[in-house]
Amino acid sequence: MLLCGLVMFFNTSLIEIFTRLTDYTWGVIFGVAAATVWVSYGVAQKVLLRRLASQQILFLLYTLCTIALLPLAKPGVISQLSDWQLACLIFCGLNTLVGYGALAEAMARWQAAQVSALITLTPLFTLLFSDLLSIAWPDFFVKPMLNLLGYLGAFVVVAGAMFSAIGHRLWGRWRKNEAVVVVPRSGE
């Protein structure tokens, strides 16, 4: 399902992705790298939760990321932002703090499969709000360049990821609900 959904999602850009090294291709490469880091983070956090509290893990994560990204930072750019852009930056920063805090608590309290099932919904909400914001404020937000097949592909990818995360539980419930019919043998 994942491969089929990805092909559907990228249907308008497949040739560009595999033939030219454009900004779009780099975005896909960085997206795959980010997904790999996400998986590593999730596994590491689940292991670290045995010894550290979720707040300690977040503090460690924020500190290490700050140290790693500080050489690339250009703080002077912040003073060049408009009020709207600054408000968006502050919102994104606070949203990141709250989001990762909620994720850390969820990982501490729930099974990884349950957390994964919720996380897989993020791309669908991103597409939904990208469309809504581009309609509400077309000067500030660009409409995603997806056709109907692309949206369907996003849904297939998310459904496949969700099914792989919690499908075994659903499958077990369906198997339990199946009625067992005893067929008498001849002569009985």
Q: Per the structure, how many domains does the chain have?
A: 1
Is 143 part of a structural domain of the chain? yes
Is 56 part of a structural domain of the chain? yes
Is 186 part of a structural domain of the chain? no
Is 183 part of a structural domain of the chain? no
Is 74 part of a structural domain of the chain? no
**Is the four-CA dihedral 96, 100, 101, 106 of positive or negative sign?**
positive
- 103/42 Cα distance (integer angstroms): 10
Is 131 part of a structural domain of the chain? yes
Kindly give the confidence (pLDDT) of every residue in the chain, 188 residues in length, as a single tens digit, with 9 standing for 90 and above. 778 888 888 888 888 888 889 998 999 999 999 989 988 888 888 888 889 888 898 899 889 989 999 999 999 999 999 999 999 999 999 998 998 888 888 888 888 777 877 888 888 898 999 999 999 999 988 888 889 999 999 999 888 888 877 766 666 665 665 555 556 666 65
CB neighbours of 41 closer than 8 A, spacing ≥ 6?
A: 61
Is 30 part of a structural domain of the chain? yes
Is 180 part of a structural domain of the chain? no
pTM of the model: 0.64
The one-character DSSP state at 137 is: -
Domain containing 32 equals 2-68+83-167
- Other residues' Cβ atoms within 10 Å of the Cβ of residue 45: 21
